[in-house]
Structure 1
Amino acid sequence: MIEVAGSMPHFIAIIANKSKPKNCVNSSITLLRNAQQRGMETIDADWIRKRLSGKRGEKSALATALGVGPDVVSKILKGERSVHASEIPKVIEFFASQDTRRESARLRLLQEIQTLDEQEARFLLGSLGVYRGQRREEEP
């Protein structure tokens, strides 16, 4: 079990419970509850799944970032393997860099929008409305 205090990418500490003896289960549960009460995040399969966008090749890119094969990422996501302490900084960096790219794209879009004339702005709004309408029709 791995926890990260604070929010990504500004984490304060990483706590790794590497030992797996049977009597460690209760201490792991206690550690998890204490971490959650302090606002810490547990880096596990659920944490990773919540951040995956579903884009093609994303799991493979995560595997590359971790320096493991795609089968290892699959095992992590299935709960058959835990995230190792040494992999935590790589996982956090992988998702932090994705957030940075998204924010950068949004910023560029906002900058471009500011340069539009009235006609271009109306066209863009109309196109966006059509696009969103198509997305709603495609959703189950």
Structure 2
Amino acid sequence: MLSKLTLAFTLAVMGVISCQADPQGSGVCVHNGGGYSMRFQLQLQNDDGSWSILEGWTGYYPAGQTKCVDLKNTSLSLGSDELREALEELSDGRIIRIEQDIFWGATNYIKPYITYNSSLEKTKFYCSGTTYHSKCKCKKNCDF
């Protein structure tokens, strides 16, 4: 009979359970290390599981550059009162995802998603690859 430790290890190796939680941060930085121009936007998970745009698209930016969005910054230029209210109600523990759009290429959701934590720095991602095969990895505030 398997011990609890052996069973937990086996399930973790098989990917059935995970010992690592989502990255946490008070904002997002995405470095473009790919062979393309890209932009991204942040989306907030609603209580019903649907997603709302939290911060609209950044402008397109070329390889070698980084764009950041600080969600603690109350002077963000939000497009509507609804978005402003969403930001004001942003509380620790809310789930945020990043949608990446590559110019003349694919649109992807960068995983893992982020858990908002106002007491931490921004979570940083590094994206590489080509217009249709982008890979993004978490580089800072990733392990919790």
Q: TM-score range by the shorter chain?
A: under 0.3
Which protein is richer in strand relative to its size? 2
Q: Specify the structure having the higher radius of gyration (Cα).
A: 1
- Structure 2 length-normalised TM: 0.23
- Structure 1 length-normalised TM: 0.23
